[in-house]
Amino acid sequence: MSLLLAPVRRPSASTRTRRFAALAVLMLPVLLIAVDNTVLSFALPAISADLHPAATTLLWVVDAYPLVLAGLLVVMGSLGDRWGRRRLLFVGATGFAAFSVAAAFATDAWMLVAARVAMGVFGAMLMPSTLSLIRNVFEDRAERRLALAVWSCTFSVGGALGPLVGGVLLAHFAWGSVFLLAVPILVLLLLTAPFLVPESRDPAPGPVDFVSMALSLAALAPTAWAIKSLADPDTRGAALAALAVGVVCGVAFVRRQLTARVPMLDVRLFRSVPFTGSIVTNMTAMFSLTGFLYFISQHLQLVAGLDPFTAGLVLLPGTVLSVVAGLVVVPVVARIAPRWVVAVSLLSSAAAYALVAALGHGADIRALAVAYVLLGVGIGASETVTNDLIVSTVPAAKSGAASALSETAYEIGAVLGTAVLGTVLAAAYRAHVVVPAGLSSTEHVAAGQTLGGAVAAARSLGGHAGAELLASARAAFDSGVTTTAGVAAVLMVAAAVGAWFTLRRVR
């Protein structure tokens, strides 16, 4: 049964302050990782203008980080259970800060991609540690449900704050500043966590299963890459091969866990339909958020002509209401069945996309702000409920690996959001943009692939031809947004129906 419905046992007041101080410290990496998932969206125009990446390379700049993160989360969660979750948190914080600096000063697109890969490795150490440490710090169920709501809200709000933070930084500094943001946050974590966050680990973890770790990585990473690459005809063959590798390794991983005396991950958890439904819901929530931000950030800056800070302010109401929804849903779900709450929340995300699709080229800034409010409310409410369902199904000693499953769902959702919707958007843009003569070969290719490339080429071209290119590129981009939003709306409705049936036994 969900912790949201569990009986309340009052903790002693003497240690309550210390527990919630530990929670505040643990929210630092959660906020950072969530912001990092979306802050890059608002830096994409500046990165396009400075580094001149191709359309596929630009997608890799966004996706390299969550792809690596998704592949390593289960491995890192298992290592944290064995070697100490706080210790793994410290290693992850140090490495993430170092490679954030490297990303900030990247001089070409592939150098930036490499830095993002390294950030994914160390970021995978951070996220499972935070959720599993919360599971162990808050033994009281009433406190834990509040702590989980704060965790969910922080993750949702971090993703929503990304554009606003990016807007503030990009209004005053170069695009590398969005990566340097990590350094002071992680330094604060490293200074305070040793005093406030207790160490925890599995008291009987069994031997380290390197074969299972390798199979986990070989299942998740190729699968995530294949999902990203299937839509591109040039990479479809390799993507199908990678998908086959991922499936074979995934089957081998599951078989090994079912026969192991001490499995790295108890895959029997997936026999629980509510657990599986909650994992899928987490994935669709991040799909919805990152996909929406991928195109709205570019529309607000490159079509509507807003500066980054003003564009971030447009999304502020949705950010605030995402926090409110995540906290308000805690007492609500005690009275209303979780399937109602989650299904309605996902329908709110579907309504956000449907509004954008229905308005098409006529969508003004106010309409986009309203759409983001619908999106934020839906994500904030659904994630609080599903994270509680996920964490409450496992014993505290095994919380690291189980928490990693929730994080993996988040990151695969982030990959899908930019990969699926970004690919649909890029295809529609390329099909409709008209690039005039008079550009260099490099500028011609860039203008034909991305809106950022077209804006830079139009400035170089100037005059009537430049104005025509800019108008064509903006119209092509918005036609792609309309198509993309329609596809996403249908997917969100399907996710709501799935949540309705998978959570029907949770009361």
| 169 neighbors 177 (Cβ within 8 angstroms) | yes
Q: Is the pLDDT of residue 12 over 70?
A: no
pLDDT tens for residues 361-380?
667 888 888 998 998 888 88
pLDDT tens for residues 210-264?
888 788 888 877 877 787 677 667 777 888 998 899 899 989 988 988 888 777 7
Instruction: Tell me the mean pLDDT in the region 274-280.
Output: 83
Residues in the chain: 507
Instruction: Tell me the mean pLDDT in the region 73-101.
Output: 85
| 167 neighbors 42 (Cβ within 8 angstroms) | yes
Both tokens of residue 36?
């990092």
CA-CA-CA-CA torsion sign (416, 418, 421, 422): negative
Averaged pLDDT score across all residues of the chain: 79
Q: Is the pLDDT of residue 6 over 60?
A: no
Task: Report the range out of 5-14, 54-63, 75-84, 487-496 with the highest average pLDDT.
Answer: 487-496
CA dist 438 and 435 (Å) reads 9
Q: Is the pLDDT of residue 342 over 80?
A: yes
- Of residues 182 and 465, more confidence is placed in 182
What letters, b where the CB count within 10 A reaches 16 and e where it falls short, cover 143-173? bbbebbbbbbbbbbbbbbbbbbbbbbbbeee
pLDDT of residue 99: 92
Q: For the ranges 9-23, 168-182, 456-470, which has the lowest average pLDDT? A: 9-23
The model's pTM is: 0.71
| 298 neighbors 150 (Cβ within 8 angstroms) | no
Task: Report the range out of 229-233, 302-306, 442-446, 483-487 with the highest average pLDDT.
Answer: 483-487
CA dist 268 and 116 (Å) reads 33
Instruction: Tell me the mean pLDDT in the region 487-499.
Output: 88
Both tokens of residue 454?
């077209």
CA-CA-CA-CA torsion sign (74, 78, 83, 85): positive
| DSSP structure class, residue 434 | -
pLDDT of residue 241: 92
Q: Is the pLDDT of residue 167 over 60?
A: yes
- Of residues 302 and 11, more confidence is placed in 302
CA dist 504 and 507 (Å) reads 8
Q: Is the pLDDT of residue 1 over 50?
A: no
Look up tokens 């100490």; give the residue.
84
Instruction: Tell me the mean pLDDT in the region 314-330.
Output: 81
Q: Is the pLDDT of residue 421 over 70?
A: yes
CA dist 155 and 161 (Å) reads 10
- 366 contact partners, CB below 8 Å, separation of at least 6: none
Instruction: Tell me the mean pLDDT in the region 147-151.
Output: 77
Model confidence band, residue 4 (pLDDT cutoffs 50, 70, 90): very low
Instruction: Tell me the mean pLDDT in the region 278-302.
Output: 81
Model confidence band, residue 11 (pLDDT cutoffs 50, 70, 90): very low
pLDDT of residue 141: 65
